[in-house]
Structure 1
Amino acid sequence: MKKPLIIALALSISAFSFAQKKELRAAEKAIKGNNFAEAKTALNQVEPLMASMDEKNKAKYYYLLGQALYANGAGSSEDIDKALASLNNVKSSAYESDVLQLKQNMTNDILTKGNAAYEKNDFSTASKHFEHAYRTSEKDTLFLYYAAATAVNVREYDRALKLYEELKQLGYTGIQKEYFATNVETGQEEVLDKESRDLYVRAKSHIKPGERLTESKKAEIVKNVALIYVNQGDNEKALEAMKDARAESPDDINLLLSEANVHFKMGNKEEFKKLLEEATQKDPENAELQYNLGVIAAESGDKEAAKRYYDKSIELDPNYINAYINTAALILQGEQALIEEMNNLGSSKKDDLRYDELRKERQDIYRSAIPYLDKAIAIDDKNINAAKTLMNIYSVLGETDKYKVLKQKVEAIEAGN
């Protein structure tokens, strides 16, 4: 009684096997003809038979499904995710090179889409494409970094944080070997891939070949993670992220400055000042650090300290325009008390004499600010704020010719000339 059952079962398996192979061949043929919808239909018919499928046919099924979903780049982002998941299920070594090539094609195509979106400032779409590119080629962690950075551009902070945390777990630093050579014709150093650089050097179009390591992006990643936490109101996590990173790289001044910026955003100006002063000890030639200390001192009402910091910033970088503008603003703050006293004076002879004294003091203040504003305009002749302030000063001082020159400049700037 068992023999017919055994025969019937054998016939059933054979029928299943025939149906599997038939549909897989149909899907393969449809893919070769770029008829991906037909291929997916054939593969959908195979799916219920997966339980009885041998490993060879399973591998073929997953590979063909990946191709059909990818559709030579026409598949949606969701389809690409499914295609990747399907390709990751291909366990047969017979398809290893084919899967690698398909993933490489997917990576290149996705990057092209990502770059196109980036050029259009569509950072949200670009970020998703860059992440997809990484998923197709997980050895290229740079793509994951691009995905996180572009997500920050459009304030997709939750997503960016998730990507950054993944980068941290991977130990990503962004340090890469960079190849360069100097173009003989232009005299400019150019960064190239190794093959191109060596080719150009042999052709003698480039000289002075070399290689170097790029800077670590760890400080930037930690900074962005911390600022995301600040944006989310989680200041404790922000500071924790900074301190952990600084403990690992205590001499990294960028991490120190990032922590200082977090304190500044939190309103912890004393801690901000303390960290900036620590930074100036590590980097005493940094004009920006001196300038920022000047800003903090000015906001704290310590004008003398602010002036010292601004002067030091200018000494380190004679073209640091903000230091000149802020110094002028610091000087001009002194006129407010004079104006208030002048407005409260009466009409007696004594008051008239005092008024003249105050007016002269006010004019002296204006004259003290002029050199700084002049220098700011010399550095940036389109700086409308400096030009307007200087124009008004000349008007008050009664220097008509200089006033007219500045008035013309202001009008030209405002007209876009």
Structure 2
Amino acid sequence: MRIISLLAISLLMLSLTVLLSCKTPELSGGIIALEAGRIDEAINYFQQARDKQPENPEVYMYLAKAYANKQMWEEAIEALDNGEGLDPKFDEDIKLAREELWVKIYNDFAIPAYVEHDYETAAEYFELASRADPTKAESFNSLGLCYGILEKPEKAVEAFKKAVELQPDNVDFLTNLSSAYLDIGDTEKAAEILFVLAEKEPDNAEVQYKVARSLHLQGSIDEAIEKYRKVIELDPEYLDAYYYLGSALQDEKQDYEGAVEILEKYVEKYEDDEVAWARLAQCYSKTGNKEKAIEAGKKAEEIIKKKKEEENQ
């Protein structure tokens, strides 16, 4: 056993000797320090190696690895940026180094922050991940989701656009981009994306609903109503489709009986919406059903009172 152990050590030392034989003393010293876990010492060596060989991409890869060990993400990304394109022989190595850095930032820091609902921190890490490896569409999509939650719709649009550029056929990314366009009021661009999605996903209630909302906001009421009905057909529990279908029938079409039919179904499924009850009261009144109008109005007042009491507790 002792002979085998000595042989293994000898082979390890031999491989390390071969690895370091073609490198400068600074780069070799940095590699040894890095392998030993002496990160600050390794960084110092690699910086010296960089100053002596500024055109050597290998130096930047090792420097990035050392910085990553210290969670110095900006410096690690900058090192890889500086090493990229210096020597075609190292292009694949730089690519792998970027992916390794991306995995560490994205999986170990960005995702946990997102899961903990710390969206500001998550956005910072997703942004770093997107720079560590700009080929990963997931980073930009996740960044867009954070910006949406943080009510920064313009930034969300830019992030989702980059995700779609990288994966133009990804339905989730396209859906997110269309939603972001709706958030900033650009219904025309949202509609362009949504109509493409609607053809790709004819049985997707979420996609069809977003098409309906876009049409509604653009004033294409008849088409919007048709789409809302399609959504309800696909998913009878899609509450927002009931609400906006009812509002379109009431406000734009003055079809009060039709609105009553839809809004009644809505409040059966979600009875704590005071606005829906107020709408029902108006529609009942328009159709001559005074008794139900009074009941619906009282229900709306009760819900408002209840919510105020809960807020004051």
Q: Is TM more than 0.5 here?
A: yes
Report the structure, 1 or 2, having the larger strand content: 1
- 1:126 to partner: Cα distance: 0.8
In the TM superposition, residue 29 of structure 1 has moved relative to its aligned partner by 3.0
| Superposed CA offset, 1:259-293 (max 9, x none) | 4434655xx4x32x233212045345356434313
**Match 2:148 to one of 143, 146, 152:** 152
Correspondence 1:149-188 to 2 at 5 A: 149-172=145-168
Q: State how far apart, in whole Å, the 2-side matches of 1:410 and 1:85 are.
A: 54
The residue number in structure 2 matching 1:4 is none
Structure with greater helix share of residues: 2
Gap change, CA 1:110 and 1:86, over 3 Å in 2: farther
For residues 222 and 102 of structure 1, do their structure 2 counterparts lie closer, same or farther at Cα, with a shift above 3 Å needed?
Answer: closer
For 1:253 and 1:85, how far apart are their aligned partners in 2? 43
Q: Distance in 1 between matches of 2:161 and 2:308?
A: 51
Distance 1:86 1:229 in 2: 37
- The one of 110, 113, 116 equivalent to 1:114 is 110
Whether the 8 Å CA contact 1:324–1:372 is kept in 2: the answer is: no
* Structure 1 stretches lacking a partner, 5+ long: 1-17, 175-215, 335-360, 377-384, 392-408
Q: Is the 8 A contact 1:107 1:137 kept in 2?
A: no
RMSD: 4.3
Measured at CA, do residues 320 and 314 of structure 1 come closer, stay the same or move farther in structure 2, by a change above 3 Å?
Answer: farther
Cα deviations by residue, 1:240-274 (Å, 9 ceiling, x for unpaired): 34224414643366445434434655xx4x32x23
Q: For 1:410 and 1:171, how far apart are their aligned partners in 2?
A: 44
* TM-score normalised over the length of structure 1: 0.53
Q: Quick check: 1:274 aligned with 2:222? A: yes
| Total equivalences in the alignment | 282
- Unaligned 5+ segments in structure 2 are 1-20
> 1:306 maps to which residue?
256
Q: 1:196-234: CA deviations, max 9, x gaps? A: xxxxxxxxxxxxxxxxxxxx414522323422552xxxx
Q: With structure 2 as the length reference, what TM-score do the two structures score?
A: 0.68
Per the alignment, residue 282 of structure 2 pairs with 330
**Mapping of 1:128-139 within 5 angstroms?**
128-134=124-130, 136=132
Within a 5 Å distance, the mapping from 1:2-401 to structure 2 comes to 21-50=24-53, 58-70=56-68, 72-76=69-73, 78-85=74-81, 88=84, 92=89, 96=93, 100=96, 103-104=99-100, 107-119=103-115, 121-134=117-130, 136=132, 141-172=137-168, 216-227=171-182, 229-230=184-185, 235=186, 238-247=187-196, 249-250=198-199, 251=202, 254-262=206-214, 268=218, 270-271=219-220, 273-283=221-231, 285=233, 286=236, 288-300=240-252, 302=254, 305-315=255-265, 318-321=268-271, 322=273, 325-330=277-282, 365=290, 367-369=291-293, 372=296, 385-387=300-302
Percent same amino acid among aligned pairs? 14
Q: For residues 74 and 284 of structure 1, what CA distance do their matches in structure 2 show? A: 49
Equivalent position of 2:11 in the other structure: none
Larger radius of gyration: 1
- Paired with 2:90 and 2:131, the residues of 1 have a C-alpha distance of 21
After the TM superposition, which parts of structure 1 deviate over 6 Å for at least 4 consecutive aligned residues?
409-412
Q: For residue 269 of structure 2, give the secondary structure of its aligned residue in structure 1.
A: coil
CA distance in 2: counterparts of 1:410 and 1:42, whole angstroms: 64
